Each structure stands twice: as structure tokens, then as C-alpha cells.
Homo-oligomer: A and B are copies of this chain.
Amino acid sequence: MENLKKYSRKCESREMPKVMVLRWGHRPRRDARLTTHVALVARALGAAGFILSDTEDKNIKATVEKVARNWGDGFFFEMGTPWKKSVKNWKAKGGIVVHLTAYGENVQTSDVLQRIRSCGKEILIIVGSQKVPREFFLEDFSDFNVAIGNQPHSECASLAVFLDRLFEGEELAKKFADASMWIIPQERGKKVVKGL
């Protein structure tokens, strides 16, 4: 996490809590596209970085870093670190951990989001894939277990809705700095500007 500090500063300057996303349970062949989507959602919806835990996937790293290079802003990417180590480090530095799971407190019907916000802490979001270890639910590891509805659907969707609600939509209006290409929104057609 040697280059984490600069993203932390960036987040402070846009007055959003700093958020990192940890993806657990990635299976390189089966989950390649889904994990890439999860990482791109993390970046596009306001997280400062992404940790692919316990395994490595150089193709995903290359794709995400290429997107970040072309479309702007810094984005932290780390892979291979055991999840328990990442979580312990995060908590040791004063951050909180939010585990997204269909079994958790419902983000719509409970006050869990207010309680997370009122911590005023930096947030590590854990998104699972296959069945997650029982430990994810324990106080030693997760501070909050949050459900984006209590129906089975998608970790990619859960992450997106959680970030959208956490940042109250502002992340979608953010200008990404140092981009070499960007979209001009249109009612019809495509307009992409390419810089130097």
C-alpha cells in the first residue's frame, strides 16, 4: 500500500470519506469479467482503490490501470495480499470495515448507513464472490454487515448502490483529473473528447 497516501489526500480534498474496495474469492477464469466490472465500478463510483485479495490476475490489473490512465484520476490497485492481513492493517490504522452481504442489515429499512457515516472513518468495503468465510461476519473483521436488499443478486450491483448512497450521488458528477479522454454527455449519439 505504498502509494495509498496520495489517494487519501485526493479524497479529503473532495470531502468524501476515503473508500477502498476489497474483492474476496476471485477465481481467475470464471470471475474475470465480473471482477473487472467490480474494480471499474469502484473507480467510477468514487472509491480510491481496489484490492484483489489472496490471488493475482495480471489481466484485470492491466485493464483497470489502462482505464485509469485514459479516463483520469489516480486509482490504487493491489493484488495477492491475504484478506485477513488487509483487514487487520485497515483497522489498525483506524478505518472501519463494511461487508456487503445479502444477509446483513438492509440499507433501505435500517439506519445502518447513518451509523456508518457517523463513524466519520475511512471505509474498507468487502465484496465477496463464492460463499464467504464465516469470519467475515464477526466483530473482529467486519464493523457492519450491509445488505443492498435481502435478495440474491450481484456484488457488482451491491457495490454500486452502496457507493451511490454513501456519496449521495455526488460521485457521478465528479470530474476526473488528468484524463486523456472524456465523454461529453449527449441526448443522442456519442461524443468523446481526446486530449494530449
Contact A185 B110 (CB under 8 A): yes
The listed residue (B45, B103, B189) touching A183 by CB distance below 8 A is B103
The size bracket of the interface on A is 35 or more
Contact A107 B45 (CB under 8 A): no
Which residues of A come within 8 Å of B, CB atoms? 30-31, 33-34, 37-38, 40-41, 43-45, 67, 71, 102-110, 137-139, 144-145, 147-154, 156-161, 164-165, 169-174, 176, 182-183, 185-192
A–B Cβ pairs within 8 angstroms, 19 of them: A30-B33, A37-B157, A41-B153, A44-B151, A45-B149, A45-B153, A103-B186, A103-B189, A104-B186, A105-B186, A108-B169, A109-B185, A139-B188, A149-B171, A150-B182, A156-B156, A156-B157, A158-B160, A165-B169
Q: How far is the CA of A172 from the CA of B156 in the complex (A)?
A: 16
- A44-B153, A148-B172 are known; give 12 further A-B pairs, CB within 8 A: A45-B149, A105-B185, A105-B187, A106-B185, A110-B185, A137-B189, A139-B188, A151-B176, A151-B183, A154-B156, A157-B159, A165-B169
